[in-house]
A and B are shown apart, each in its own frame.
Chain A
């Protein structure tokens, strides 16, 4: 299991386009991945669940993955959260 903290950088927070990108990336890994905000967990492969977290620009979240590609998954997802939307 790998867990890492990240700050949500995209202006729009974790919904709309950034969420779509995030989910798409998450789906490309076999590991089970969750995003945790204020102790509440959401499946990283579900945009509906992710949106209910209401993670905004500047919020702190944790990403936890468990599975064969857990390391790569967390790396990639933290990277998406840490960069401005193009």
Chain B
């Protein structure tokens, strides 16, 4: 067992930090005097006014600095604090106490505590949290009144990991730039001020470590993993080098993200590769775009059909397809018709028990047999088409006979919509190549579609006869097998013959080691989970 102390907490701000520990002890405001003499009242009131002005100036400066740095919501915290300091009721409360011969610093803390008590007693969690804000403001004014002795944070010169019970916004803002390497905080959650500030400044933070912090206060060096949510006090050399590596990786990753995220991926010989996202619901569209998705290579529609008593209506489906299509504007959105097999229940469909669900009645096979399942989906897709660049993809196709049957039903839907006078658009049709049969005879299918998209997960499992979930078969669960690569190559060749493009939407599309091989074979669109996009673009650009 390693000889160090591990503190588990909440991952509040991602990143890794390693450095000298600085323990922040909030200075106890020691009141030098509780009361004043009668003839001092006017002077004390004036001092109180001046103290408020100084604090408001400080807070407004901080707000402005944050706003200039693009931290809008953090700036808002300080503006709210400035407003509290200037609050007429707050001031009146203090002035009244001073007239009753209380010292202004004692009065400020007392009135602050009154308001804090009222907020803390409120049921609303947001309001209860404002108690700490009032206390923070009151203690700043009191500190100013007592000559401005502040905590050690603003004089901290050596970059440090800061350990504290909690940090008020005013504490965090006082730390000179570049000095706070990380935060380890015993209280708080992801939504505490300190967490929000840490994220906004890009400082790794772990909060809510609890009483364990007490044991770490004597540490010289502290390592913080704000991504996983733990800190290590006095790490051993091995852990230190582990953290240093982690920091290098994170820095490299961040640079990579920035550089490639929104760039177009092009190989050195000029081949353009589109890098898209696989989505499982319309809610994921925005995040995918923020990772630099150039479209949706696979929109799974199964979520619409699962865990519900009846099939989704055409209208409900239309809304979802339109939403995701609109979110991507001119960028292509490939929507796969529902691919459910005997291993999952479909509402209102009588599914027989099957010995081999993956070789059973599923995907396009089931859709062709159940028009009341297939047609509402196709009609919804045709109606959503005018809202962007929508394409339809059929799953589990084995041969051109299935494709033609599906296209025939699509044609019927088009006729129906036309007769009803409904709005609908033209859509490109593609086939998901995931059966060996479709790959081997891709030349039969290619002339009748606009694109292919290779689904490697199933293609691997069917080609290598290896169950995806069987842990003993890991060697046979990779697309990087000559048999699978041959099938990908054949698919690309057949596509080239008739001038259509080939994409890939299986896991292999996002695997760094596979990308060069796929591009070499002729795949021109790679679709993956969104966070893998920047890395994939980088790999393509280096080919």
Interface residue ranges, A against B (CB under 8 Å) = 15-16, 20, 23, 43, 45-49, 51-52, 54, 56
Contacts and interface: CB of A to CB of B under 8 A. Distances in A.
Contacts of B122: 52, 54
On chain B, which size bracket covers the interface?
A: 10 to 19
Contacts of B83: 20, 23, 47
Given A15-B126, A15-B127, A23-B83, A51 B119 contact: yes
User: Among the interface residues B87, B115, B126, B134, which one has the most CB atoms of the partner chain A within 10 A?
Assistant: B87
A56 B118 CA distance: 16
A43 B127 contact: no
16 contacts: A15-B124, A20-B79, A43-B88, A43-B89, A46-B87, A46-B90, A47-B80, A47-B87, A48-B87, A48-B89, A48-B90, A48-B115, A49-B89, A51-B130, A52-B118, A52-B119
B124 A52 contact: no
A49 B119 CA distance: 10
A52 B122 CA distance: 8
Contacts of A54: 122-124, 127
A43 B160 CA distance: 45
Contacts of A43: 88-89
A32 to B, nearest CB: 11
Given A43-B89, A54-B127, A48 B80 contact: no
Contacts of B88: 43, 45-46
A40 B134 CA distance: 21
A16 B126 CA distance: 9
Nearest to B83: A47
Contacts of A23: 83
Given A43-B88, A52-B119, A54-B122, A20 B80 contact: yes
A23 B126 CA distance: 19
Contacts of B5: none
Contacts of A48: 84, 87, 89-90, 115, 134
Contacts of B79: 20
Interface string B113-133: 001001100111011001000
Contacts of A51: 119, 127, 130
A20 B77 CA distance: 12
B263 to A, nearest CB: 35
A16 to B, nearest CB: 7
| Nearest 10 Cβ contacts at the A-B interface | A46-B89, A49-B89, A52-B118, A48-B87, A46-B87, A46-B88, A43-B89, A48-B115, A45-B88, A54-B122
Contacts of A56: 124
Contacts of B126: 15-16
Nearest to B89: A46
Nearest to A27: B88
A54 B122 CA distance: 8
Q: Main secondary structure on chain A at its contact with chain B?
A: helix
Contacts of B123: 54
A57 to B, nearest CB: 11
User: Among the interface residues B89, B90, B119, B123, which one has the most CB atoms of the partner chain A within 10 A?
Assistant: B89
Interface string B324-346: 00000000000000000000000
B299 to A, nearest CB: 31
Contacts of B130: 15, 51
A45 B130 CA distance: 18
A45 B83 CA distance: 11
Nearest to B112: A48
Given A15-B126, A20-B83, A23-B83, A52 B90 contact: no
Nearest to A13: B124
Nearest to A56: B124
Interface in B344-365: none
B87 A52 contact: no
A47 B124 contact: no
A15 B127 CA distance: 8
A54 B127 CA distance: 8
A52 B84 contact: no
User: Among the interface residues A15, A23, A48, which one has the most CB atoms of the partner chain B within 10 A?
Assistant: A48
Contacts of A47: 80, 83-84, 87
A47 B85 CA distance: 11
Given A52-B118, A52-B122, 11 more contacts: A15-B126, A15-B130, A20-B83, A23-B83, A46-B87, A46-B90, A48-B134, A49-B87, A51-B130, A54-B123, A54-B124
A15 B88 CA distance: 17
Interface in B58-82: 79-80
A10 to B, nearest CB: 13
A85 to B, nearest CB: 14
A51 B90 CA distance: 13
A52 B90 CA distance: 13
Contacts of A46: 87-90
A54 B90 CA distance: 17
A52 B93 CA distance: 15
Contacts of B127: 15, 51, 54
A83 to B, nearest CB: 21
Contacts of B124: 15, 54, 56
A65 to B, nearest CB: 15
Interface in B440-495: none
Interface string B252-286: 00000000000000000000000000000000000
